Amino acid sequence: MIMRAHALLLRNSAPDEAAIRDALEPSLCRCGTHMRILRAVRRASEGFQEQTSAAGESNQ
């Protein structure tokens, strides 16, 4: 799931809920923490966006 989430964020740094669910669907977690995993990917996307925008600003 981590690798799928990372690949998603590389393709789309601001995925919506549907895109996250679609990317992680083949690796559905059955342990009851799936909602936490979705939330973690949303949080990671926020950090990923911040890093991407900071890197873009430093290259200018």
Measured CA to CA, the distance from residue 60 to residue 58 in angstroms comes to 5
Q: How high does pLDDT run on average in the chain?
A: 84
pTM above 0.75, yes or no: no
- Residue with the bigger pLDDT between 48 and 1: it is 1
Banded pLDDT at 52 (limits 50, 70, 90): low
Q: Is the pLDDT of residue 47 over 80?
A: yes
Average pLDDT, stretch 14-39?
87
Per domain, the residue ranges of the chain are 2-51
Q: Which of 2, 49, 7, 8 is nearest to 27 (CA)?
A: 2
Measured CA to CA, the distance from residue 11 to residue 18 in angstroms comes to 15
Q: Which of 4, 55, 33 is nearest to 44 (CA)?
A: 4
